A and B are shown apart, each in its own frame.
Chain A
Amino acid sequence: MRIRLERRLKPSRAAGVLVPLISLILALAFGGLILLATGANPIVTYKAMAVGAFGGKYAISETLVKAIPLILCGLGVAVAFRMRFWNIGAEGQLAMGGFAAAWVALFLPGLLPNLPLKWLLPLMILAGMLAGALWGLIPALLRAFVGVNEVITTLMMNYIAILWIEYLFYGPWRDPKGYGFPGTAPFPQEGWLPRYPGTRVHLGLVFAIAAAIILWLVLTRTRWGYEVRVIGENPRAARYAGISLWRNFLLVMLVSGALAGLAGVGEVAGISHRLQKGLTVGYGYTAIIVAWMGQLNPWGVVLVGILLAGLLVGGDQIQITMRLPAAVALVLQGAILFFMLGGVLFNQYRLRVDWGLRRRPVRPTLPAEGGES
C-alpha cells in the first residue's frame, strides 16, 4: 500500500473553509491531551473557556475588546505575509504606536497651549500610526537595500521597543501620584477613545472593521494589491514584470506598521488611558496566527481575530475560576497553527491511497507520481 499526494489542478475552495475549522477542532483535541496529562479535565476547561469568552453580554464585549488589537495587527501581518515579507514585529510596532500616542496625550498640550483639545485624539492616532509605520520601515529598509533577514530584525526590534516603553513608565514618565504603579499619569479626557456605553468596547472596533474593508478593496481592486500578490507568489516573475521589489517592501511595511501602531493607540487611548505595564501582552504574536488562519484575507482576519480573542478571554477566565494557567490559550494557538499548516496541504494536494491490488491506467491529469510521505 502506498499513500501519495497528488497536486490538485486548482486549489480547493471547500478546503479553504474546512481546513481552519478542522484545525481548530484537532488543536482542541491535542490541547486536551496536554491538559489530561497534567491532571486537568479538558471538557470542563474548554466549557469554562467558551462560557468565559462568549457566554453573555459582558463576556462578548470583553472578547470584542481583545479582538480590536488582534484584527488590526492581524491585518498588518497579513498584508506583509501576502508578499512573503515575514513581519513578526507587530508587537513592537504596537508598542511604539502606544508610546507615540502617549507622548502626544501627555506632552503636546503643554508644548502647544493654543492647541484645541478636540484635535488631541486625531493627533494621537496619527502619531501612533506614524510611529508604528516608522518602526516597521527600519527592517524594510534593511531588507530592501542590504538584504538583511527581516524575521530576525523585526523580532529583535520587538524586544527593543518593549524595553523602551518599560523604561519610560518605570522611569521618567512614571506617574508621581501613581503609588509606585508602573504607568504614566492618565491622559486628559479629550485623549480617550469613546466607548460603547456600559462596556470597554471602544471606537477602535470601527477602525478595525474599516481597515479590513479598505485593505480588502486595495488588495483586490488596485494595481498595488495585484503587485503584492505577484511578489508573494513569484518574486522573480514580479521582477521581470517590472514590479519594484524594494518600493513594495517599504510600502507594505509602512502599512503593516501603521496598522499595528493603530492597535497600540487603541490600547492606550481606549482601554488603559495611560501608557502602562501590560500594553504588550503578545497580541503581535497572536496576530501571526490570526493572519495565517484567516488565510491572509481581510475578512478571514476579522473572523479569526474575534475567535482567537475569545480564546484569550477564555484563557484568562480559567485562570481566575479554575486556577489553571492562562498559557493554555497560547498552547492552543500554537497547536492551531500546526494543524492549519498541515491542512493547507489539502488545498493544493489530494491524498491518494494505492492499495497495490491492480495497476492503474495512466491518468491524463498532471503527472504526480511518487511523493511518499
Chain B
Amino acid sequence: MTIALITSILWVTIRAGTSLLYATVGEILTERAGILNLGVEGIMIVGAVTGFAAAFHTKQVWVGVGVAMLAGAAMASIHAFLSVSLRAEQVVSGLALTIFGTGLANYLGQRLGPNGTPLVGMVGPKFTPISLSDLAEIPVLGKSVFNQDILTYATYLLVPLLWFFLNRTRPGLHLRAVGENPQTADAMGVNVAGIRYLYTIVGGMLIALGGAHLSLAYTPGWTEGLTAGRGWIAVALVIFATWDPVRAVVGAILFGGINAVQFRMQAAGTTIPAAFLNMLPYAFTIVVLVLITWWEGIRKRVGAPAALGLPYAREEKR
C-alpha cells in the first residue's frame, strides 16, 4: 500500500466515523445516567433532515446544526418523559422513538423543500474540510487527521472533555451515581429524575448532531434512509466501548474504516457484488458484539451501569 492510499483510507475513516462517534458518546452519556435510549436511529435521522432543511433555507450551516440539536433535544425529552416520569418500558419507548423519527423524517423530507416540495436532490450549504496549515505538513496525518471539517475537529476536543467530566468532576460523579445506584444517589441528595432528564436530552442533542454531520458534511443533502442503521450501530458501539467515551473512538474508527474499505473496493472495481459489501457493517456489528460480550463475560466484568433501563421510584423497593 502506498502512503497516498493509507492517507486517503484514514481520511475517509475519520470522516465516516464522525457521525457514529457523536451518536455513540451521546448514548453513552444517556446510558451512564441509567436511561436506555434505543431511539438513536430515529433521533439521528430527524437531526439529519431538520439540520439540512434549516441550513438550506437560511443558507447557514450553523443554523442547521442548532436546529438539529434542538430537534434532538425535543425527541429525547419525549423519551425522558416516558422513561423517567411515567416509568414506561424503555426498550419499547426507544423503538417508538425510532419508528416515529423515521416517519417524521420522511414526512418532513417530502414537505420542507421550497414551497412544500420535497427536499430530496436540493443542494444546500455544507461543512468542507479545512486543512490546518501548521499540521498539514505531517506525513499521512496531515492530510487525513488534520484535514477534516470543523464538526470532526470538535470531536477531538469533545471526547477528552467528556472523559474528564465523567471521571474527574463532581457533576460527572453524580451522573454515574444515578446510573449505578439511584437509591444511594437519592439519599445523597442528588436529584435523580432531574439528572436523568438532563443527560437524556444532552445525549439526544449529540446524537442529532451526528445525524446533522451526515446531511451537512459527510454526504451533503437529504435522501430517505440517510442514516442506514448507523444509530443502531452506535447502540452496539456503546457496548463495544464498555460505556467509555475514549473507547468509543476506537469503535468509530473501526466502523468508519469498514466504510472506507467498502468505498475502496467499489472504486477498485471488485467482483464482489455491492449488496455483500453493503452487508459488511451490519455483519461486522454482530461479530464485534459477540466477541466483546464473550470477552467481557470471561473477564467477569460488568460494563453496563447497574441501573440501566430500570425506572426509579423512591417509594418502591426492588
Contacts and interface: CB of A to CB of B under 8 A. Distances in A.
Given A157-B286, A327-B103, A367-B315, A149 B293 contact: yes
B95 interface: yes
B201 to A, nearest CB: 16
B250 interface: no
A311 B142 CA distance: 54
Interface string B275-305: 1101100110110011001100100000000
Interface stretch (B108-116, B126-134, B255-263): B108-116
Contacts of B316: 7
7 contacts: A38-B108, A156-B282, A156-B285, A167-B276, A332-B103, A370-B313, A373-B86
Interface stretch (B60-68, B164-172, B228-236): B228-236
A337 interface: yes
B229 A325 contact: no
Interface string A151-185: 11101110110011011001100000000000000
Given A34-B107, A327-B110, A159 B313 contact: no
Interface string A273-295: 00000000000011011001000
A334 B99 contact: yes
A75 B194 CA distance: 38
B38 to A, nearest CB: 6
B100 interface: yes
Interface in A134-149: 142, 146-149
A330 interface: yes
A149 B289 contact: yes
Q: How many interface residues does chain A have, given as a range?
A: 35 or more
B106 interface: yes
A333 interface: yes
Contact of B86 (A7, A152, A342): A342
A146 B293 contact: yes
A359 B316 CA distance: 22
B235 A148 contact: no
Nearest to A335: B100
Contact of B100 (A146, A166, A338): A338
A201 interface: no
A338 B78 contact: yes
B162 interface: no
Contacts of A373: 85-86, 193
A31 B308 CA distance: 31
B130 to A, nearest CB: 34
Most A CB within 10 A of own CB, among B103, B229, B275, B290: B103
Nearest to A286: B99
Contacts of B314: 370-371
A95 to B, nearest CB: 13
B82 A338 contact: yes
Nearest to A148: B293
A88 interface: yes
Interface in A318-373: 325, 327-335, 337-338, 341-342, 344-345, 367-373
A191 to B, nearest CB: 25
Nearest to A369: B315
Contacts, number: 158
A39 interface: yes
Contacts of A153: 286, 289
B121 interface: no
Most B CB within 10 A of own CB, among A171, A330, A331, A334: A334
B93 interface: yes
Given A334-B99, A338-B96, A371-B315, A146 B294 contact: yes
Interface residues of B, number: 54
Given A157-B286, A331-B103, A370-B314, 6 more contacts: A142-B286, A327-B103, A327-B104, A328-B103, A334-B100, A370-B315
Contact of B99 (A147, A159, A289, A368): A289
A159 B82 contact: no
A204 B317 CA distance: 47
Contact of B97 (A160, A171, A331, A334): A334
A86 interface: yes
B239 interface: yes
B87 interface: yes
B189 interface: no
A147 B297 contact: yes
Most A CB within 10 A of own CB, among B276, B289, B314: B289
A365 B235 CA distance: 42
Nearest to A81: B92
B101 interface: yes
B200 interface: no
A344 B87 CA distance: 10
B223 to A, nearest CB: 14
B27 to A, nearest CB: 12
B226 interface: no
A147 B294 CA distance: 8
Contact of A341 (B92, B98, B286): B92
B34 to A, nearest CB: 16
Contacts of B38: 151
Contacts of B289: 148-149, 152-153
Most B CB within 10 A of own CB, among A86, A147, A167, A327: A327
Contacts of B89: 341, 344
In the A-B complex, the 10 residue pairs with the closest CB atoms: A334-B100, A330-B103, A167-B275, A337-B96, A327-B106, A325-B110, A331-B103, A341-B88, A327-B107, A373-B85
Contacts of A159: 229, 279, 282
Contacts of B97: 334
B174 to A, nearest CB: 19
Contacts of B229: 155-156, 159
B136 interface: no
Interface string B237-280: 00100000000000000000000000000000000010110110
Contacts of B141: none
Interface string A1-42: 000010100000000000000000000000000100011000
Given A146-B293, A373-B86, A160 B107 contact: no
B185 interface: no
A181 to B, nearest CB: 18
B276 A146 contact: no
